[in-house]
Amino acid sequence: MSDDRRLDVLRAIVEDYVQTHEPVGSRVLVERHGLGVSPATIRNDMAALEEAGYIAQPHTSAGRVPTDRGYRLFVDKLSTIKPLSAPERKAIQVFLEDAVDLDDVVDRAVRLLAQLTQQVAVVQYPSLRRSALRHLELVPVGETRLLVVIITDNGRVEQRVLELDDPVPDHIVPELRARLNATVAGRRLIDLPEPLEEMATGFAVVDQPLVQRVVHVVEDTLAEATEERIVLAGTANLARSGTDFTQTIRPVLEALEEQVVLLRLLSEMAEDSAGFTVRIGRENQHAGLAETSFVAAGYGSQSEPVARIGSLGPTRMDYAGTIASVRAVARYLSRILAG
């Protein structure tokens, strides 16, 4: 049996099943796809694919459906990713560029991706640990209170208020602000502790307590677990995925409610050379997501993404279209945050 022809048969089965949600028979393959061989040959190819674990027969006398292994081979052999149309690309650009801040960008991106894929969209907030610091501001808000504002290169803003025992000296704020920005500007937050400690030792002894308090606030901020958060949109799309999937929708919804599950998945989905990652069925390693696939791509920069964006839906999703949409939104998201 020709491996190329077997792959063509598998591709046809996947495409038809994604479109119709019905098991695919040999007669349908002959009628819909110009495979250039007889129905008997198609049946032999399907039998070989079934024996190899790429397709399965859900019911006696029924056609065949792809297995997780079949979807994996199909995705790995995708030669082209269906491009978005020019109007779609323009709509993405305009919609995201109108955002006013990082929260708005993330909210728009997740809603847009859910609309494009008609699946669940997941956006991970930019990680402080993988971000670079653009500016650090100190603002006295009373005699004994100091507001510390941390602004990252991707637009994330964190604010902390320091409650002090003594009044803030007038001379220290401008000097500390200048030295802090000279030390931290352009550096990743994960690389800051040592330079910050070295900078603090350069101040007069009398100013050391305040300087150390500010330094510790910055260090504590990047250590906080609250940085790991995600935003979901399009959960209702799962209910429109067809009766074969909605029968298993409850465990999927329960898994989505546990954000730690999605965060772990996103952290495990390291970027590959194609710029995206696909987890299919039980590859997700969570029982509640065994009937789903997850397509994710990094955003922020090609060398080191600061976070990920993805789309989750039934294993019989339109992989080419989903990959194209995820990559497009991630690309525009990266451009906006870089600007």
**Domains of the chain with CATH codes:** 3-76 (1.10.10.10), 86-127+228-338 (3.30.450.40), 129-226 (3.30.390.60)
Residues 181-198 pLDDT 10s: 998 888 877 787 888 888
Average pLDDT over residues 200-223: 84
The single residue listed with the structure tokens 């674990």 is 53
Residue 164 clears pLDDT 80, i.e. is over it: yes
Most confident of 60-69, 163-172, 230-239, 299-308: 230-239
CA 296 – CA 269 distance, rounded (Å): 8
pLDDT value, residue 49: 94
Q: Which two tokens stand for residue 118?
A: 């008609």
pLDDT at res. 244:
67
Q: How many residues does the chain have?
A: 339
Give residue 40's pLDDT band: very low, low, confident or very high (50, 70, 90). Answer: confident
Distance CA 329, CA 159 (A): 28
Least confident of 106-120, 199-213, 243-257: 243-257
> Does residue 243 have a pLDDT over 70?
no
Pick the closest to residue 129 from 223, 217, 193, 56 (CA basis). Answer: 223
Count of other CB atoms within 10 angstroms of residue 302 = 11
pLDDT > 80? residue 98 = yes
Decide if pLDDT at 30 tops 90: no
* DSSP three-state, residue 108: helix
pTM above threshold 0.85: no
